[in-house]
Amino acid sequence: MLTGRRFRVEFTGEQEMFAERIGSVCRAVWNTGLEQRREYRRGGAWMNYGPQARELAEAKTEHPWLKDVPGHCLQQTLMDLDKACRTHGTWKVRWRSGRWWSPAFRFPEGSKMVVEKLNRRHGRVKLPKLGWVKFRMSRFLDGEVIRSATISRDGGAWFVSFLVDDGRQAPSAHSVPGTAVGVDRGVVVAVATSDGQLLDREFVTAGERRRALVLQRRLSRSAKRGRNRDKARAALTGLRARERHRRTDFCAQSAHRLTVGNALVAVEDLKTKQMTRSAKGTLNQPGRNVAAKSGLNRAILGKGWHQFSLALQSASRYTGTLVVKVPAAYTSQRCSACGQVDPKSRESQAVFRCTSCHYGPVHADVNAAVNILAAGLAVTACREPTTPAGVVGPLKQEPAGNREELLLQPRNAAPAA
């Protein structure tokens, strides 16, 4: 299967300057290509990769600075632009700003790359025009076929990401068949499961919050294009990168833990992008409760809901786990014992007590996770058994009573094959 291996790069001074230059040229090619595509769309015509690649080759004769960087990186930039425009539309693809966009470029010919191990902690890879690039070899690449390599900058540090084929095949069935779990994502507890587990960690310490506040004030008060402003921005970027790395690690470990132990994982089908939209509104129609909505958006993004969903799907490829997405409506207000839906049953953010059958008190997120599991089992009850790597077959007609009986099964019971 295809997967990624990411390592921190230790550039020399000249290599770092040249990497910045490659990123800047790739950004210029992206923006020029996007402007050309939009100009064609204004005239009712289309532009694709082929003509742009030919024009790029012709432009190298007029602009020698295009020849200084690896040509494959520029071609790959046009390929990525073509894919983005075909997927999202020409008018929805964004510009790459020199201020907000971090340099990133890809070398597509992985078969020609040479990777050597220097010692127990370091390795090096030979890249076109960059030469031998040293990186921290936190894991070995023995037996893995490299397809491509991407150089990127994140939080002031440079990384190399290898797309490799690890030679593994997706399992046809889970090692522990018949197990299932429901997962509820929250803004206080990141992940709550139907068997009572509360998975969470602190991504930012109190000291880092105070430090970030000081840096933000210093950044706002410093003069533009000043050295102190650059120092404050670099320090703040480092804090934000540390927070992202912790969140990524938590999502990966939690997803691995859930997929290894369960053949079925049910999660809510949450549209995080729509849920975290701004509530400011416009001048003619200003929004309401803007501060509260802004705080909720920060909490949702801070817990990494979408990132956890992606990690769950990635981890399920190696375990044969079926990931089922169910509607999120009323999962936090429905009693998992009697099925009664009442907003008053949610006594507080963390406490649930049913107003009908008096079930509880239980943790509200755990109660929601039980409802999610029941919905996931009901969805899979009318489908074919899972075939490779979480792929579900077509719908199968069954009496409604069979689906209703699943709601009464124990929490960790999965549908019979």
Residue 387 has pLDDT above 60, yes or no: no
Sequence-distant (6+) residues with CB within 8 A of 172 are: 320, 387, 388
342 is catalytic: no
Q: What is the pLDDT of residue 224?
A: 85
User: Is 355 within 8 Å of 341 (Cβ atoms)?
Assistant: no
The catalytically annotated residue of 144, 184, 208, 398 is: 184
The single-letter DSSP state of residue 145 is: E
Least-confidence region, from 103-112, 140-149, 284-293:
284-293
Residue 184 has pLDDT above 90, yes or no: yes
Give the model's confidence band at 403: pLDDT under 50 very low, under 70 low, under 90 confident, else very high. Answer: very low
The catalytically annotated residue of 68, 195, 268, 398 is: 268
Rounded to whole angstroms, the Cα distance separating 64 from 34 reads 21
Summarize pLDDT for 263-316 with one digit per residue, the tens.
999 999 988 888 888 877 766 777 777 888 888 888 888 899 999 999 999 999
| Position 259, amino acid | T
Indicate yes or no: pTM above 0.85. no
Sequence-distant (6+) residues with CB within 8 A of 254 are: 190, 191, 199, 308, 311
Q: What is the pLDDT of residue 409?
A: 47
Rounded to whole angstroms, the Cα distance separating 311 from 306 reads 9
Rounded to whole angstroms, the Cα distance separating 137 from 117 reads 8
Least-confidence region, from 177-191, 301-315, 385-399:
385-399
Does residue 43 sit in helix, strand or coil? coil
365 is catalytic: yes
- % of the chain at pLDDT higher than 90: 67
Give the model's confidence band at 383: pLDDT under 50 very low, under 70 low, under 90 confident, else very high. Answer: low
Summarize pLDDT for 330-342 with one digit per residue, the tens.
999 999 999 999 9
> Hey, which bits of 55-166 come out as E strands?
104-107, 114-117, 122-127, 131-136, 145-154, 157-165
Residue 19 has pLDDT above 50, yes or no: yes
Average pLDDT over residues 19-35: 96
Least-confidence region, from 70-79, 90-99, 406-415:
406-415
Q: What is the pLDDT of residue 275?
A: 84
Buried b (16+ CB within 10 A) or exposed e, 357-371: eebbebbbbbbbbbb
User: Is 153 within 8 Å of 164 (Cβ atoms)?
Assistant: no
Give the model's confidence band at 125: pLDDT under 50 very low, under 70 low, under 90 confident, else very high. Answer: very high
184 is catalytic: yes
The catalytically annotated residue of 55, 142, 243, 365 is: 365
Asked if residue 343 has a cis previous peptide bond (ω within 30° of 0), the answer is no
